[in-house]
């Protein structure tokens, strides 16, 4: 085992702080890894690192929690004291000691009292996590003693320490010296509880010189990370580099709505301000001829409100396809209605326009002091940050953290989603989307292509798709295919007639049928030009599935097509079947659905324990419906003795251990079922929708089983994420 993988010792403690006594309270839990992230200085990106570490643990199926011992006020970066960004908060513990309370007790020499309270809070929080990430205090000019507090808290909680540092303007030598000094606060680099350091914001521009968002030419494109990875301090036994994270402007780019709220700006034209971001700022008072080079995508153009020439030039640039961030008008001036009439097309195309009362100088001061913290409602930015950090953490270290996780763990929703995306990336399949002009479908396709989840092909009018994307602020990746159905429809008339000749299909009728994009996409799939099909955001289930049943048919060895939903509950992922296809299956069909669903669950990393659901458990009830489920259970058990299948079981007996002990104490499935097979469509569809809406959980599906080639249906109420993960499912199915 490498030093990076050195195991924690539950009994060992940090070297006691001078004049400090260990708190009287005892740590009640010893099974979890406790990792305290301690910032070395201000502005190291502690929240981003915490977010990434949480994410990578979740992806590995690790039960992870985030504990914040002491609450610290968010930095106030606006000139107005009553303004601060509503930043993301990761803490999961409801009880948190305030910093002012800690300071008060410190002044009275009662620090140990607070430490005991922190231990008690931690014991109440730390229930069954494999890893608990503890967030340290950030040192500021007002809290220069944060290091001492962090040391005492780490000692009290028996936590291992990971330093989080950012080089800033330091050279490698200067940074190493600063890191050495910081490590001494926690017993030095040889202290076995000081695991190492995560270096964040490598290659970040000098904020004092360039501001929060520098121009592209001010960013070093040839940054070499090697010298930072090779620092001598990391060659010391036991003190490791646990992550080296480069700075990326896309990770700090705010939304226009954020800067608008921050400035309390008057919104002249909202445009795409909820989606559009800015990556640099230009303060313009120059002539138009000297302005042109500054009109680049993602730039916030700030100009006096009476500079009509600059305003019109900016709008013309936006009309010509330059996706500017926004136009900010200063001094409280607004152009005349005649000017806005000239600019109307640019406004309609989504260009946000804001107005502020200050002059350009004051406006620049406010903008340059913008709070860089991630707003809690900016999910897109959160996802980018956490994935970027996760990708750059030490794989050996994360492997060590996951080493003690049981192999048969309950697959959590984050772990399941990660598994889907990783398997889909490896599959590298082309998925056709016949509802190409649906906004949700366009967004999902763009996400899949950007994240390499799958290659996507939208079917629809190209101009309309591009217009919708522009209006919605959707950036369409270069690898996203857009196909106008009018350009290809005639290619499929003859093949369709050949497939349906026994049904008397003619060329005329075939051409008419192919006006339905779902039929067209199904033919593309049948002919092997794409690998899978996803539809249903607009079309009904019948319209999606009927062409597939007619043209693609069932796979060999399958007597029917069925469906499952993956239900992403907070603690685990369950499989529900059949909730979309078969109205009233007989016992033989129900057995086949159970076997198909069990195999699907196993294929996606869910250990199949199949519960055949009824209104009766065991032999407690009678009736045709119960007898059907009983017979189906016996058939499925006989066909596949390798599977764990039991029934009939009531839903509560299948999922709740305390109920299972009373109603089915000898069942191998009761209380721990992962696959739920409902007796008919009425029961299955009602149950999945009730759980989905009442518990506010994500459901992925329906995923069709038994088809010769993968075709999947969406709910017409599907969210963008639902479509993304259905595309991933389809891509994976194409490999099976």
- Of 105, 43, 42, the residue nearest 70 (C-alpha): 105
Q: What is the pLDDT of residue 27?
A: 38
pLDDT at 34 over 50: yes
Q: Alpha-carbon distance 134 to 35, whole Å?
A: 6
Contact call for residues 301 and 318 (beta carbons, < 8 A): no
Instruction: For residue range 271-294, list pLDDT tens digits in order.
Output: 989 989 998 898 998 888 888 888
Residue that is written with structure tokens 């490598």 in the block: 202
Q: How confident is the model at residue 587 (pLDDT cuts 50, 70, 90)?
A: very high
How many CB atoms neighbour CB 478 within 10 A?
Answer: 5
Instruction: For residue range 227-242, list pLDDT tens digits in order.
Output: 999 999 998 778 999 9
Q: How many CA atoms lie within 13 A of 300 on its CB side?
A: 28
CA-derived radius of gyration, the chain = 30
| Whole-prediction pTM | 0.61
Contacting residues for 268 by C-beta, under 8 A, at least 6 apart: 329, 334, 353, 354, 355
Ramachandran sector of residue 201 (left: φ over 0; alpha: ψ -120 to 50; beta: rest): left
Instruction: For residue range 143-174, list pLDDT tens digits in order.
Output: 777 888 898 888 888 889 999 999 988 999 99
Q: 677 or 158: whose pLDDT is higher?
A: 677
Q: What is the pLDDT of residue 406?
A: 47
Partner residues linked to 318 by β-bridges: none
Q: How confident is the model at residue 20 (pLDDT cuts 50, 70, 90)?
A: very low
Cis check for the bond before 662: say yes or no (omega within 30 of 0).
Answer: no
Q: What is the pLDDT of residue 193?
A: 87
pLDDT at 392 over 90: yes
Contact call for residues 244 and 230 (beta carbons, < 8 A): no
The average pLDDT across 131-143 equals: 84
- DSSP, residue by residue, 118-136: HHHHHHHH-SS-SEEEEEP
Sign of CA pseudo-dihedral 512, 517, 518, 524: positive
CA angle at residue 588 from 714 to 586, to 5 degrees?
Answer: 70
- Poorest-confidence range of 42-56, 70-84, 699-713? 70-84
Q: What is the pLDDT of residue 311?
A: 94
- Of 297, 298, 353, 351, the residue nearest 330 (C-alpha): 353
Q: What is the pLDDT of residue 19?
A: 38
Q: What is the pLDDT of residue 88?
A: 54
């Amino acid at each position: 085992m490498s030093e990076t993988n050195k195991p924690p010792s539950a009994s060992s403690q940090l070297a006691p702080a001078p004049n400090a006594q260990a708190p009287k309270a005892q740590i009640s839990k010893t099974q979890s890894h406790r990792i305290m992230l301690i910032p070395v200085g201000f502005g190291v990106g502690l929240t981003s690192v915490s977010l990434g570490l949480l994410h990578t643990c979740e992806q590995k199926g690790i039960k992870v929690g985030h504990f914040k011992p002491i609450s610290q006020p968010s930095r106030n970066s606006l000139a107005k004291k009553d303004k601060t960004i509503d930043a993301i908060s990761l803490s999961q513990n409801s009880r948190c000691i305030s910093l002012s309370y800690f300071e008060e007790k410190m002044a009275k020499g009662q620090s140990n009292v607070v430490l005991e309270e922190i231990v008690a809070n931690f014991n109440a929080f730390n229930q069954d996590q494999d890893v608990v990430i503890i967030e340290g205090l950030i040192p500021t000019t007002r809290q220069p003693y944060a290091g001492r507090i962090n040391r005492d808290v780490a000692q009290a909680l028996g936590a291992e320490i990971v330093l989080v540092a950012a080089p800033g303007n330091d050279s490698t030598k200067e940074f190493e010296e600063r890191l050495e000094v910081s490590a001494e606060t926690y017993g030095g680099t040889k202290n076995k509880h000081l695991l190492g350091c995560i270096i964040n914001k490598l290659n970040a521009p000098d904020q004092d010189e360039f501001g929060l968002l520098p121009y592209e030419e001010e960013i070093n494109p040839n940054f070499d990370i090697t010298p930072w990875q090779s620092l001598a301090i990391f060659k010391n036994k036991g003190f490791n580099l646990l992550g080296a994270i480069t700075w990326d402007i896309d990770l700090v780019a705010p939304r226009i709505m954020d800067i608008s709220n921050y400035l309390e700006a008057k919104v002249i034209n909202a445009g795409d301000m909820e989606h559009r971001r800015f990556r640099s700022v230009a303060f313009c008072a120059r002539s138009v001829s000297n302005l042109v080079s500054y009109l680049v995508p993602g730039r916030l153009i700030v100009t006096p409100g009476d500079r009509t020439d600059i305003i019109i030039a900016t709008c013309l640039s936006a009309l010509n396809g330059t996706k500017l961030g926004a136009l900010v008008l200063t001094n409280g001036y607004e152009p005349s209605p005649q000017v806005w009439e000239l600019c109307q097309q640019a406004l309609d195309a989504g260009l946000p326009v804001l107005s502020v009362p200050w002059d350009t100088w004051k406006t620049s001061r406010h903008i340059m002091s913008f709070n860089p913290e991630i707003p809690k409602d900016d999910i897109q930015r959160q996802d980018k940050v956490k994935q970027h950090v996760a990708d750059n953490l030490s794989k050996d270290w994360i492997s060590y953290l996951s080493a003690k996780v049981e192999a048969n763990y309950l697959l959590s929703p984050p772990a399941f989603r990660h598994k889907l995306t990783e398997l889909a990336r490896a599959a590298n399949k082309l998925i056709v989307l016949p509802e190409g002009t649906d906004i949700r479908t366009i967004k999902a396709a763009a996400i899949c292509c950007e994240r390499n989840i799958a290659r996507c092909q939208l079917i629809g009018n190209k101009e309309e798709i591009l217009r919708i994307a522009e209006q919605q602020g959707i950036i369409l990746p270069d690898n996203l295919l857009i196909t106008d159905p009018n350009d290809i429809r005639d290619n499929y008339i003859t093949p369709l007639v050949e497939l349906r000749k026994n049904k008397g299909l003619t060329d005329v009728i075939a051409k008419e049928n192919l006006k339905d994009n779902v039929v067209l996409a199904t033919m593309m799939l049948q002919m092997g030009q794409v690998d899978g099909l996803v539809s249903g955001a607009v079309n009904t289930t019948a319209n999606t599935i009927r062409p597939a049943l007619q043209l693609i048919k069932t796979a060999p060895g399958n007597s029917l097509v069925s469906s499952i939903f993956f239900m992403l509950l907070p603690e685990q992922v369950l499989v529900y079947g059949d909730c979309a296809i078969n109205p009233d299956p007989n016992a033989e069909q129900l057995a086949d659905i159970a076997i198909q669903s069990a195999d699907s669950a196993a294929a996606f990393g869910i250990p199949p324990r199949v519960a055949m659901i009824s209104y009766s458990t065991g032999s407690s009830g009678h009736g045709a419906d119960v007898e059907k489920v009983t017979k189906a259970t016996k058939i499925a058990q006989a066909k596949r003795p390798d599977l764990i299948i039991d029934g009939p079981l009531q839903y509560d007996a299948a999922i709740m251990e305390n109920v299972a002990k009373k109603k089915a104490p000898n069942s191998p499935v009761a209380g721990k079922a992962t696959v739920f097979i409902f007796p008919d469509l009425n029961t299955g569809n009602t149950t999945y929708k009730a759980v989905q809406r009442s518990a506010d959980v994500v459901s992925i599906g329906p995923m069709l089983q038994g088809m010769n080639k993968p075709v999947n249906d969406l709910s017409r109420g599907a969210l963008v994420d639902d479509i993304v993960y259905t595309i991933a499912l389809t891509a994976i199915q194409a490999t099976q």
